[in-house]
Structure 1
Amino acid sequence: MNVFDVIIIGFGKGGKTLAAEFAKRGQKVAIIERSEKMYGGTCINIGCIPTKTLVHQAKIAWGRKETAFEEKSDFYRQAIAVKETVTGALRNKNYHNLADNPNVTVYTGTGSFVSSDTVAVRTATEEILLTSKQIIINTGAETVIPPIDGVTDNPFVYTSTSIMELTNLPRRLVIVGGGYIGLEFASMYASFGSQVTVLESYPELIAREDRDIAASVKETLEKKGIVFRMNAKVQSVKHEEDKAIVAFTDLQTNGVFELDAEAVLLATGRRPNTGGLNLEAAGVEVDVRGAIIVDEYLKTTNPNIRAVGDVKGGLQFTYISLDDYRIVREDLFGDKERKTNDRNPVSYSVFIDPPLARIGLNEEEACKQNLDIIVKKLPAMAIPRAKTLGEMDGLLKAIIDKNTGKILGCMLFAPDSGEVINTVAIAMKAGLDYTFLRDFIFTHPSMSEALNDLFS
């Protein structure tokens, strides 16, 4: 039996940062990762970093305006190589940051609980038992595979992970699911040169957004040639020698249609990855969605075991996992003042082209709460910086409390919105009146100065 001060299952953002924190304090740490291709976690290997690398390359591809598909395919192949170089370097750095630390032992294998303080690690050659009075679960989330006939073992069907290993650009790509992940890949592959069709089973696109924002997103993506089929229920994905055949039903008309494609992407969501952990043996409970139940200090139903990152449900962002690290750090070594319910509001960005960023309440949500609000809107084409970039599609929107002047929410569908939203987030977190942004001196020309006009 190998004894440690702390065992961390999963090499993601929260887990690896906690491992370094414990090691810095002289504690003996075991960190378990099931795959040598996942050192550093989802973000580095199959999430933020590879997708945003490809988003950047796709933007370059869109600007090249090549006419021959073979040229587009060659550029795409080079972009995949760039992505591999970036992720490979970061993966190697993350591995050695911990593996080279004398207080850290990295185990490459699958971890599962034997009891409340013992974890079995099955490597390629053996099973090793580890024990500790403190264990942290950081196993992330996994792609939901919908029960569609023909998707299992279909060589033309991909997830958001596997499609980024595809080195040949598909002429025709069908994306099942019109959520944020689906839209990011739709925008990316359309920019590379694929003919993209998005099949969404709901009548509305990105239903959690206001309809004017969603309409602006849809219109902008349609300009890239993306075709949206709403109310589309996919029935099967068959494959022939060189293509897939996607059959779907229009839920409004009951008509049945078929689409040919060289690739089919399943973008139907992600769920907490708890399979094989044997949580029952540790007294760790999950909710109805399979997420590990935690308190405000990220303790599970076994107080000696914590969960950080996507495995506990909620917002699935790397920066949330990093904040989970801060909560655990302050609870164990600090003043215990940081808690999960302290961090709202939290912003997010969807890296379509242009990006969509949001924080707080939208107009529909504010109205449902019967709040007395002021709604501000600004078209992206009114922003000088957008004109200099030649990127004038989009819409900016803000929701303000009429009685207090506080910013309740903000939606930015415009270039650089993933950066600008952070300025709004700081103002909201600090409790500043909207006039702070209205009157702030921003550089010119910049996208940030659009906040002057938006909040005027």
Structure 2
Amino acid sequence: MIQYDLIIIGSGPGGYISAIRANQLGLHTAIIEKYSKLGGTCLNVGCIPSKSLLYSSKYFFLAKTKHHLHGIIYNSLSLDFKKMMIRKNNIIKKNNEGIKFLMKKNKIDLYQGIASFQTNHILSLIDPKTLKIIKKLQFKYCIIATGSKPSNFNFSSFNIKKRIISSTEALNLKKVPKKLIVIGGGIIGLELSSLYYRLGSSVTIIESMDRLIYNMDISLSEEIKNLFEKDSIKIETSSLIKKIIPNTNEVSVYIKKKNNGKEIKYTGDYCLLSIGRIPYTKDLELKKIGIKKDKKGFIIVNNYFQTSVKNIYAIGDVIGGKMLAHKAEEEGLYVAEYLSGQKPNQLNYNLIPSVIYTYPEVSSVGKTEQEIKQKKIEYQTGIFPIKILGIAKTSESMSGFIKIISHKNTDEILGVHIISNHASDMIMEATVAMEFSASSEDLYRICHPHPTFSEAFKEAALLSFYKKAIHI
């Protein structure tokens, strides 16, 4: 029986990155992956394919709506959706190959199959086709990094032929739908709505809560709703799904408004269910060795990501919290270093940034204004509109703002919320500043390059502690 210091179950961002770090620190490491391709949800049916298509759709959308303002005129403009999908698939393939190369370079053993615990030191490797045990592997430590699935992945009507799809199918459609109904106004719902709107779909978003991206700052919710509606995306908040009826060519969604009880029917080519994700622990046989889960199925861990079985750890989506690839990465790095005798810093979950790749992008880190109010913290805000910036005018990217919230007495930055072109990159200035407990005045005192979108930080910071900005 082959013995390892560490076996990691799952090759997503949390899994493969923790494997590399563990190997660097001297642990004999292996990865077990159920699927034939490495990279998990993020690489194969999540972050990478969605961003590939979002960027492609963005360029097409700008060519249709903005390029003429720059003097760029097309005699004819057309969309080759098949080629767009081929490009996306090629990117996935290259990244798959890249992870395989990293595993080989770092001498990490790969096993393709289903992992199942026999004891807290022995894993069975099961053939996914025959469901027979291929071999058994022994380990000192194990990290469970099996991720999550769409919460509707076992939905009884979950069949693309019946026109009800998840994000996985939405990233692999054969043609652009004329009408798309999206159930769920969270990050995935907004990104896929944005993607297909840019390519020409008529999009309707249905959300049960009273606003979109409910867990983010309310100012972001209001602004993104305004921008989407300006783009003629229909939004129905405070809406309950009564029934979904698919047939061969279309799907009908019946909703009921919470405020007045009004019932409305929407019909589309597809209904995309984007209602969250659930932890994926199928086939692991966690009960056999006593690993505890909470009521929602997430594996329970302590501050060191240790499960109820002391030599087995869990990271990423499978333990809950923000279901983000970079969160899983940080947790994986932490466990690898901890098991190697290092003393890594505890993760500050308040400072894990979130990003939505709409156009303009949305990003956020720290506390929302509503959270700060609930905790009865005295605070001050600075909000600077992007349209005032010189770079906004030159680039024709005028929408959005930067909002800085700081403590009224100490001026320490408590949260930063952005809607802007390049918001996905800009949020790191806020994250670094908050990691070092910077004040809004500290940000103001830093020289920002001109002309850039980051100049909005300087102005919003000045507004936060001084209530005046230079360009307002």
TM bucket (normalised to shorter chain) is over 0.9
Percent of matched pairs sharing the same residue: 28
The residue type equivalent to 2:436 in the other structure is: A
Contact conserved, 1:284 with 1:292, CA < 8 A, in 2?
yes
Q: Which residue of 2 aligns with 1:194?
A: 201
Listed as ranges, the matches of 1:36-435 within 5 Å are 36-37=36-37, 39-65=38-64, 74-98=79-103, 100=104, 103-123=107-127, 124-125=129-130, 126-127=132-133, 128-145=135-152, 150-151=157-158, 154-340=161-347, 342=348, 344-435=350-441
Is the Cα–Cα contact under 8 Å of residues 14 and 309 in structure 1 kept in the other structure? yes
Distance (Å, rounded) in 2 between the aligned partners of 1:371 and 1:4: 49
The CA distance in 1 between the partners of 2:349 and 2:272, in whole Å, is 34
- Whether contact under 8 Å (1:150, 1:237) holds in the other structure is no
Please give the secondary structure, in 2, of the residue aligned with 1:132.
Answer: strand
* Alignment partners' CA distance in 1, 2:78 and 2:119: 52
Deviation at 1:27, TM superposition (A): 4.2
Aligned partners of 1:414 and 1:16: how far apart in 2? 32
C-alpha change, 1:146 and 1:205, in structure 2 (3 Å) is: farther
* Counterparts of 2:210 and 2:437, CA distance in 1: 37
**Hey, what's the Cα distance between the residues in 2 that align with 1:401 and 1:72?**
51
Q: Which residue of 2 aligns with 1:4?
A: 4
Tell me, what secondary structure is at the counterpart of 2:287?
helix
Shift of 1:26: 5.4
Residue 159 of structure 1 and its aligned partner are, at CA, apart by: 0.8
Contact 2:350 2:367 in 1 (8 A): no
Render the CA deviation track for 1:83-139: whole Å, top value 9, x for unaligned.
Answer: 1111111012212322x3584321211112122122122113541222212111010
Q: Provide the rounded CA distance (Å) in 2 between the counterparts of 1:291 and 1:40.
A: 21
Deviations 1:371-403 (A, max 9, x none): 111111112212221222212121221111111
Distance 1:207 1:27, change over 3 A: closer
Structure 2, unpaired ranges of 5+:
66-75, 463-472
Q: Offset at 1:147?
A: 9.3
Count of matched residue positions in the alignment of Structure 1 and Structure 2: 449
Match of 1:444 in 2: 450
Q: Within 2, Cα distance between the matches of 1:243 and 1:200?
A: 21
Could you state the TM-score of these two structures normalised by the residue count of structure 1? 0.93
CA distance in 2, matches of 1:146, 1:101: 35
- CA distance in structure 2 between the aligned counterparts of 1:382 and 1:288, rounded to whole angstroms: 49
Tell me, in whole angstroms, the C-alpha distance in 2 between the residues paired with 1:18 and 1:47.
20
Question: Cα RMSD between the aligned structures?
Answer: 2.2
- Deviation at residue 346 of structure 1 after TM alignment: 1.9
In 2: Cα distance, 1:318 partner to 1:268 partner:
18
Conserved in 1, the CA contact under 8 Å of 2:162 and 2:247? Answer: no
Letter in 1 for 2:432: I
Give distance in 2, aligned partners of 1:147 and 1:274. Answer: 14
- Residues in 2 aligned to 1:233 and 1:224: alpha-carbon distance in whole angstroms: 24
Give SS of 1:6's match: strand
Measured against aligned partners, the alpha-carbon deviations of 1:429-450 in whole angstroms (never above 9, x if no partner) come to: 1112211211211111101111
Deviates more, 1:163-172 or 1:358-367: 358-367
- 1:207 offset after TM fit, Å? 2.4
Say which SS state the counterpart of residue 351 (structure 2) adopts: coil
CA contact (8 A) 2:242 2:255 kept: yes
8 Å CA contact retained: 2:157, 2:164: no
8 Å contact kept, 1:40–1:95:
no
Distance 2:34 2:398 in 1: 45
- Return 5+ residue gaps in structure 1 as ranges: none
Q: Report the Cα offset of residue 248 of structure 1.
A: 2.1
TM-superposed deviation, 1:150 = 4.3
Q: 1:231 to 1:21 in 2, by over 3 A?
A: closer
- Secondary structure of 2:405's aligned partner: strand
Bigger mean CA offset, 26-35 vs 56-65: 26-35
CA distance in 2, matches of 1:219, 1:28: 53
For 2:77 and 2:308, the matched residues in 1 are separated by 52
Partner Cα distance (1:114, 1:259) in 2: 49
